[in-house]
A = this chain, B = another copy of it.
Amino acid sequence: MTNKDFGVREGELAVELPARPDAGLYFIGRIHTPWKERKHCPKNARESDAVCTVELDARWRAGLKDVETCSHLVLLYWMDKSSRNLVLQVPGHYGAQHGTFALRSPARPNPIAMSVVRLLRVEGSKLVVIGLDCLDGTPLVDIKPYFASTDSVPEAVVGWHTRHD
């Protein structure tokens, strides 16, 4: 494991990773943001109204038909600089131990981040969006339409987080 940016702190727990992956991902494009180093990234997407762009590879471009009619999208992207073996983490800004699956930390067995973004416009194979917090150059994994009927739960609570507020 590489401990450069996401090392094991006191209270963290790492496990041995499986010997081999079970499935393969294609990177389908790249995300461009204003942030070139992790320390400059906003802690979460609501902290920033920076305009970011999503460059889809030409191969997949026809798949954007009708995307321009969506006000919001779900983006999945690959946090390729993250540890994958942490099951307990102590995020610096909370200072307490939590399970990986109770966190949105990029360090997780499959470092796929999910962000809901507001779509400003589509320009060819490029999407212009607001609502990202990742590093410039992050690999894109998927684009989905956001359906309020199934994806929006205004009353949802994350109990451990509420207690931190």
Q: Which residues of A does B touch, CB under 8 Å?
A: 13, 15-18, 20-28, 44-46, 56, 59-67, 69-72, 74, 76, 78, 80, 84, 87-88, 97-104, 108-110, 112, 114-116, 118, 131, 139, 141-161
Given contacts A24-B24, A65-B98, 8 further A-B contacts (CB under 8 A): A22-B139, A23-B24, A63-B88, A69-B159, A70-B159, A101-B142, A104-B145, A148-B155
Is A147 within 8 A of B158, CB to CB? yes
Contact: A110 with B153, CB < 8 Å?
no
Partner of A88, one of B65, B67, B144: B65
Neighbouring B residues of A20 by C-beta, 8 Å: 24
- Is A148 a contact partner of B144 (Cβ separation < 8 A)? no
Give Cα A108–Cα B27 distance, bound, in whole angstroms.
12
CB neighbours of A159 from chain B (8 A): 66, 69-71
In angstroms, how far is the closest chain B Cβ from the Cβ of A89? 9
CB distance from A146 to the nearest CB of B (A): 5
A110 near B141 (CB under 8 angstroms)?
A: yes
Q: For A110, what are the chain B residues with a Cβ–Cβ distance below 8 Å?
A: 25-26, 28, 76, 141-142
Q: Are A152 and B150 in contact (CB under 8 A)?
A: no
